[in-house]
């Protein structure tokens, strides 16, 4: 819960920039201090036992579940996330659609944090196809 003297992340899509909402993000996230910032390292699609599902969709879903678990450990939720960085191996429009659907499943339809998606040729582990990191904000 955010205290009255700290704003929840406020998302902006300024006139003059294209509407990013269909792609699941906002151009700008504003956090008014004082606040506690939470940085969550890149979360991949590994299950709790370290197994990595073979499909992009399963890894994307598990990556979001892992991100929510990490946020919860810090007392945050998806609604507290201000910024995402997403890495996708061999990115294409089909993977973008899956990412958007999984973001909405994990965070809800109204939460669209600032986001940068970076197509990459490879990630840290063999077979890893998806990784997501986040910055969130909570009342200090």
Would 4 be classed as within a structural domain?
Answer: no
**Does residue 3 form part of some domain?**
no
- What is the reported pLDDT for 99? 97
Contacts 24+ apart (CB under 8 A), 92-99: 95/56, 95/60, 96/23, 98/56, 98/57, 98/60, 99/24, 99/60, 99/130
In a domain, 134, yes or no: yes
Position 38 in a domain = yes
What is the overall mean pLDDT for the chain? 88
pLDDT class of 75 with cuts at 50, 70, 90:
confident
Give residues with Cβ within 8 angstroms of 133, minimum separation 6: 39, 40, 41, 42, 43, 84, 85
Q: pLDDT at residue 22 above 90?
A: no
Number of domains in the chain: 1
Q: Please report, for the domain that includes residue 104, its CATH number.
A: 3.30.1330.40
Do 112 and 26 meet the contact criterion of CB atoms below 8 Å apart? yes
Q: pTM of the prediction?
A: 0.81
Range of the domain at 29: 10-139
CA angle 97, 98, 101 (to 5 degrees): 85
Q: Parallel, antiparallel, or unpaired for β 10-12 and 28-30?
A: antiparallel
Confidence of residue 13 (pLDDT cuts 50, 70, 90): confident
For residue 128, tell me if it sits in a domain: yes
């Amino acid at each position: 819960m955010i205290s009255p003297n700290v704003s929840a992340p406020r998302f902006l899509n300024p006139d003059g920039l294209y509407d990013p909402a269909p792609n699941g993000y906002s151009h700008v996230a504003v956090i008014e201090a004082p606040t506690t910032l939470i940085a969550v390292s890149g979360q991949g699609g590994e299950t709790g036992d370290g197994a990595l599902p073979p499909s992009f969709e399963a890894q994307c879903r598990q990556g979001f579940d892992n991100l929510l678990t990490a946020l919860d450990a810090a007392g945050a939720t998806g609604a507290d996330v201000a910024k995402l960085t997403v890495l996708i191996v061999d990115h294409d429009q089909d993977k973008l659609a899956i990412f958007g659907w999984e973001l909405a499943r994990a965070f809800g339809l109204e939460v669209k944090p600032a986001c940068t998606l970076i197509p990459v040729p490879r990630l840290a582990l063999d077979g890893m196809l998806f990784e997501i990191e986040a910055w969130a904000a909570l009342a200090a």
